[in-house]
Amino acid sequence: MLGRPRRAARAAIRAVVTDVDGTLTDATRRLDVRAIRAVRQLEDRGIPVLLATGNVLPIALALQRSLGISGPIIAENGGLLYDPSARPPRVERFADQRIALAAYRAVRRAGIPARRLVTDRWRETEVALEPGISVNRVRRAVRELPVLVESSGYAIHLMERGVGKLSTLHHALERRGLTVGECLVLGDGDNDVPMLRAAGFSVSFASGSPRAQRAARYVSRAEYAAGFVEGLKASGLVA
């Protein structure tokens, strides 16, 4: 039900994991100042914020530094993990882009008019296609390959099967002595569903995908970043 938690959080929340597009932004993908203030309030209280995005690492890293976020970055849907606490900070790869590229070629051979995002020039582990084509057609075209096809609402992602935001989040949290059950997760896309299901408390939005809404424990009445702030208030982390 909109604006109501489906069940209580299982444990005290020690970290916040958030998607970016449609979560920290408005409908036009502009950062929302209300979300910026909320993120800084969390960090000022000693609650680390982790970004988990389908976007490329250069964009996510710029956001992390501009927002003053201390947690790791999960980029490319879990294909990359950037750990700022390592000395020196390091980037780890969890997927083989050659598999995604083979899938893209299969999609093109199937006659699907797929076009790669301009940001693919910086992608290291997956291929992201412009939305507007049938996800089911793409899945049929690559069914013989070990490829996962996911929609974020902003792109269709092709990546090695078995990799995702949740699996990489486990790696990031384990090094800090944390579990997903101690996290608040906020997201709006199908690619956020596994994290939303596993979290101690999870939030999706009125603007979220149907699958994300079903997976979340709380669905905000507000859309986009306004829903992000509403969800943080519902969790009790911000006033």
For the segment 93-132, what is each residue's pLDDT rounded down to a tens digit?
Answer: 999 999 999 999 999 999 999 999 999 999 999 999 999 9
- Six-digit token pair at 187? 């997201």
pLDDT digits 0-9 by tens, 142-195? 999 999 999 888 999 999 999 999 999 999 999 899 999 999 999 999 999 999
- Got the DSSP string for 146-196? SEEEEE-SS-EEEEETT--HHHHHHHHHHTTT--GGGEEEE--SGGGHHHH
226 and 121 co-located in one domain: no
Quick check: is 3 in a domain? Answer: no
The DSSP secondary-structure symbol of 132 reads: S
pLDDT at 10 over 50: no
Average pLDDT of the chain to the nearest whole number: 93
Are 137 and 206 in the same domain? Answer: no
Kindly report the CATH number assigned to the domain that includes residue 129: 3.90.1070.10
Q: Are 13 and 235 in contact (CB under 8 A)?
A: yes
**Among the three residues 112, 141, 160, which one is the final residue of a domain in this structure?**
160
Residue at 139 is within a domain = yes
Residues 82 and 191 occupy one common structural domain: yes
Active site residues: 19
Asked if residue 131 is part of any domain, the answer here is: yes
Whether 28 and 85 map to the same domain: the answer is yes
Question: Quick one: pLDDT band at residue 46, thresholds 50, 70, 90?
Answer: very high
pLDDT band at 85 (very low <50, low <70, confident <90, very high): confident
Q: Residues 185, 53: contact at Cβ < 8 Å?
A: no
Are 66 and 48 contacting, i.e. CB atoms less than 8 angstroms apart?
Answer: no
| Whole-angstrom distance, CA of residue 20 vs CA of residue 62 | 12
Full domain range(s) for residue 147: 97-160
Q: What is the pLDDT of residue 4?
A: 52
**Number of domains, the chain:** 2
Q: Say if 85 falls within a structural domain.
A: yes
Q: Based on the domain organization, do 124 and 42 belong to the same domain?
A: no
My answer on whether 62 and 176 are in the same domain is yes
Please say if the pLDDT value at position 9 is more than 50: no
Q: At what angle do helices 57-67 and 33-44 cross, to 10 degrees?
A: 70
Query: Percent of the chain scored above 90 by pLDDT?
Result: 90
Per-residue pLDDT at 12: 87
Mean pLDDT lowest for which of 2-11, 45-54, 121-130, 185-194? 2-11
**pLDDT for res 57:** 97
Mean pLDDT along residues 54-71: 95
89 plus 29 within the same structural domain: yes
The pTM of the whole model exceeds 0.85:
yes
**The pLDDT of residue 7:** 44
* Residue 88 sits in the same domain as residue 169: yes
Residues 145 and 203 in one domain: no
131 and 107 fall within a common domain: yes
Is the predicted pLDDT of residue 2 greater than 60, yes or no? no
Q: The domain spanning residue 219 has which CATH number?
A: 3.40.50.1000
Verify that 29 and 113 share a domain, yes or no.
no
Q: Are residues 21 and 84 in the same domain?
A: yes
How many other C-beta atoms lie within 10 A of the C-beta of residue 195? 28
Tell me whether residue 54 is in a domain. Answer: yes
